[in-house]
Amino acid sequence: MHFGTFFEATLGMFTFERLLVLFGATSLGIIFGAMPGLTATLGVALLSTLTMNLQTDIAMIALIGVYVGAIYGGSHASILLGIPGTAAAAATALDGYSLARQGRAGETIATATVASALGTLIGLFAILLLVPVLTELALQFTSVEFFLLAIFGILICGTLTSPDMPVKGWIAGLLGLSIAMVGIETIQSYHRFTFGLPELTGGIDIVPVILGGFALPAVIRNLRRPPDGVPTAVKISRVFVNWTTLWRQKMLIGRSGLIGVYIGIIPGVGEDVAAWSSYAAAKRSAGTDGSFGRGDIRGVIAPEVANNSCIGGAIIPVLTLAVPGSPPAAMLLGAMWLHGVRPGPMLAVENPEFIAQITAILGVACFAMAAMGLLLARVSVRVLQLPPAMLNAAVIVLAVLGSWALGLNIFNVYLMFMFGVLVYFLEEMGYPVAPMVIGLILGNMADVSLRRALLVSEGSLLPLVTRPIALILVLLIVFALVARTRFLRMLTAPISRALRRKTT
């Protein structure tokens, strides 16, 4: 992608219609993100069906706007209520709420807003720099590499997102793969697991799975216990940006941005891991002064930069490899497919303006988020004063309509409900939903790539270890399998101890 194309696309964003959609979607995302239990993934999923019949560029503007807004919006509830609006803002609550109770609510909100904007810009620059490089690399991929990439994506997502044992994350990913096998398979047109139902011949779509898997369990968890009371927000006296503090933390901002981009590129992991990783890194490098968790502004800057730079990081593999870097990016990928866009290595050849457009939307969305974030700071948490039953009833109705809108098929609504029950049950048992979504998205790629690879090698598995990129992916798969094991922790303990001595 040429920088000239990017600047042209950025200038093209400044029409009344596009700015209206962007600011509106970003505001909706901020309010959505401020509501605990409602995730950025759900916001993007609901909006993807709402925007299905709109032009592709308007749909992408709306989706990226709500994505950026929702990831940032969680910080409002974290800082003003001490309740994270999204998992990505949970780390922000530790220091943000303490600062707010010290009378620095306005300054903290403004700092979080600017930090998020800077994080989004870092993610944008990462896209500009890395997409051409990854595209060149991806053009050398054959079926072997695509199969291994799909397996790595599922395994690493399972390893990093499982709240219990990593193997439960892998099982969730395998369940996603098995769901992806429903329908007429691509190579021999054989009907797999359709049980004679014509509705299943086309396979199971990502939208009802995501709406069912994210919306319904969230509603159940929000309402299964009567609320403790109406949360009381800390009052904001004056919203102002402390530029001196931000300038002094420029190294922290840079490092947090890089952590966010790096985590975003890893398939399926997402903004919450980025935020916590960045918070932990900032805390470690702060040493033993004990200020973290008691109102240290670095504890707000680090996670907010990282969770927003993760957005750009997560979009990079979407555009270059058709592999989502996070659950909201998975929904963005699904929306691109709905609009007939084919992300992957050929996107840069077939539709190079699309990449520039996505990057431009992210850039302008960053400023929309900053502007609306500061304007809505006093308003967004008022949404939490609404009775939970009302908000959650609206979420269910939207999820039903969203599933229906895809294909105008009531069967998708039934599927949404059934996946909601399944995911709720699995999550209670410690099986995460993110790897299942990644498995569903990458399932077809894994299946077809495996068989094509074996066709070319006449049944031999040697190319898995003789092709250099394939060998690297095999090593990454091995890493994903052992990353959280005691064996690896034992191996890396001396390095971790040495690093800790360096920073204290």
Give yes or no for residue 482 binding another protein (CB under 8 A): no
> Smallest distance, Å, CB 178 to another protein?
5
Give yes or no for residue 20 binding another protein (CB under 8 A): no
Give yes or no for residue 66 binding another protein (CB under 8 A): no
Among 459, 486, 490, 494, binds another protein (CB under 8 A): 459
Give yes or no for residue 56 binding another protein (CB under 8 A): no
Give yes or no for residue 488 binding another protein (CB under 8 A): no
Do the Cβ atoms of 332 and 124 come closer than 8 Å? no
Among 139, 197, 230, 346, binds another protein (CB under 8 A): 230
Amino acid letter for position 273: V
Angle at 268 between CA 263 and CA 270, to 5 degrees: 50
Instruction: Give residue for tokens 């992300």.
Output: 343
> Smallest distance, Å, CB 40 to another protein?
21
Give yes or no for residue 81 binding another protein (CB under 8 A): no
Closest CA to 419 of 217, 175, 213, 214: 213
DSSP secondary structure letters along 420-468: HHHHHHHHHTT--SHHHHHHHHHHHHHHHHHHHHHHHTTT--THHHHSH
Side-chain-side CA neighbours of residue 175 (13 Å): 19
3-state secondary structure of 184: strand
Beta strands in 91-238 (DSSP E): 183-184, 191-192
Q: What span, in angstroms and rounded, lies between the C-alpha atoms of 92 and 124?
A: 22
Q: What span, in angstroms and rounded, lies between the C-alpha atoms of 214 and 433?
A: 8
Nearer to another protein, 193 or 337 (CB): 193
Give yes or no for residue 414 binding another protein (CB under 8 A): yes
Q: What span, in angstroms and rounded, lies between the C-alpha atoms of 398 and 212?
A: 11
Which residues, numbered 168-197, are part of the site for another protein (CB under 8 A)? 168, 170-171, 174-175, 177-178, 181, 185, 187-188, 190, 192-193
Q: What span, in angstroms and rounded, lies between the C-alpha atoms of 183 and 198?
A: 9
Closest CA to 321 of 202, 146, 94, 489: 146
Q: What span, in angstroms and rounded, lies between the C-alpha atoms of 266 and 279?
A: 18
Nearer to another protein, 254 or 388 (CB): 388
Each residue 210-229 as x (binds another protein by CB under 8 A) or -, in order, gives ------x--xx--xxxxx-x
Nearer to another protein, 225 or 501 (CB): 225
Give yes or no for residue 474 binding another protein (CB under 8 A): no
Do the Cβ atoms of 239 and 285 come closer than 8 Å? no
Determine the length of the chain: 504
Among 202, 287, 293, 387, binds another protein (CB under 8 A): 387
> Smallest distance, Å, CB 268 to another protein?
17
> Smallest distance, Å, CB 320 to another protein?
24
Q: Which stretch binds another protein (CB under 8 A): 324-332, 371-379, 425-433, 465-473?
A: 425-433
Nearer to another protein, 414 or 479 (CB): 414
Do the Cβ atoms of 67 and 332 come closer than 8 Å? yes
Q: How many residues bind another protein (CB under 8 A)?
A: 67
Interface residues with another protein (CB under 8 A) are 50-54, 163-165, 167-168, 170-171, 174-175, 177-178, 181, 185, 187-188, 190, 192-193, 216, 219-220, 223-227, 229-230, 387-390, 392-394, 396-398, 400-401, 404-405, 408, 410, 413-414, 416-417, 420-421, 427-430, 446-447, 450-451, 454-455, 458-459
